[in-house]
């Protein structure tokens, strides 16, 4: 493994880093370099708060986060923001739009912090895979798995926001986090505003309900850390 530790070519690409991303799962750094050599791609750095993709714009490249975090969000004409999801280092975004030629983005993608993105052209990937180059089948398989997981995440969010009550939405989300982390002591990946946006709630109303739930003995919390109590 030591031969891979600094596997960075003169073009600036760190292939061991890229091979650890969701799209290249199962590929060694050497295999990753070989696959990329036939593809169309580029990397770009973004400062915090800078848009990566705008709603209404057709895209043909999927984004792979190498460093940092991007936020996928919907913004309406009145300035209301609805957080769809986050893509952290190693994760992919815009894959559904890139797979459908000419399909405009329905969401904005914003750099949540300074980040570096690898953009990979999907039509070129499909061309390579359909031309009998079997080595690219692993990327098609991984892309399918990524899309399936995204569908599950969206379904889960619909479940979390199905309750008409603020408490019901919070309990659904926090219960799921406890299941994921295998503990009643949990850390969530969202701050208060992000949690409110994710659950389609007003931030002040969410904070008030959390205080009531604490008073009722359902939970305790400090910032993003929660303790879910037995009642």
In the prediction, which pLDDT does 231 show? 52
In the prediction, which pLDDT does 1 show? 32
Query: Domain 161-228 - what CATH class?
Result: mainly alpha
Q: Which helix (H) or strand (E) holds 73?
A: strand 69-75
- Two domains, one topology: 2-136 and 161-228: no
In the prediction, which pLDDT does 10 show? 41
DSSP state of 100: S
In the prediction, which pLDDT does 11 show? 57
CA geometry: angle 103, 106, 110, nearest 5 deg: 115
Domain boundary assignment for the chain:
2-136, 161-228
CATH number of 2-136: 2.60.120.10
In the prediction, which pLDDT does 4 show? 35
In the prediction, which pLDDT does 5 show? 35
Q: What is the mean pLDDT of each run of 10 residues along the chain (231 residues)?
A: 38 87 95 95 97 96 97 88 89 95 95 97 95 90 94 91 96 96 95 92 96 96 94 52
In angstroms, the Cα distances linking 3 to 6, 7, 13, 157, 189 are: 7, 7, 16, 42, 34
């Amino acid at each position: 493994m030591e031969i891979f530790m600094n596997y960075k070519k003169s073009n600036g690409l760190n292939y061991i880093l890229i091979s650890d991303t969701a799209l290249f799962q199962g590929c060694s750094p050497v295999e990753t370099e070989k696959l990329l050599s036939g593809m169309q791609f580029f990397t770009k750095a973004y400062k915090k708060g800078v848009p990566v993709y705008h709603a209404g714009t057709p895209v043909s490249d999927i984004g792979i986060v190498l460093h940092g975090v991007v936020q996928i969000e919907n913004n309406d004409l009145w300035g209301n923001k609805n957080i769809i999801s986050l893509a952290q280092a190693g994760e992919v975004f815009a894959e559904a739009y890139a797979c459908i030629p000419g399909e405009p983005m329905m969401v904005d993608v914003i750099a949540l912090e300074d980040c570096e993105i690898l953009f990979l052209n999907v039509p070129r990937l499909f061309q390579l895979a359909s031309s009998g180059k079997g080595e690219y089948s692993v990327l098609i398989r991984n892309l399918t798995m990524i899309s399936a997981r995204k569908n599950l995440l969206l379904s889960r969010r619909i479940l979390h926001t199905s309750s008409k009550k603020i408490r019901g939405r919070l309990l659904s989300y926090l219960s799921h986090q406890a299941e994921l982390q295998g503990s009643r002591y949990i850390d969530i990946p969202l701050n208060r505003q992000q949690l409110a946006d994710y659950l389609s709630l007003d931030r002040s109303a969410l904070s008030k309900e959390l205080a009531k739930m604490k008073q009722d003995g359902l939970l305790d919390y400090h910032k993003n850390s929660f303790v879910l109590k037995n009642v």
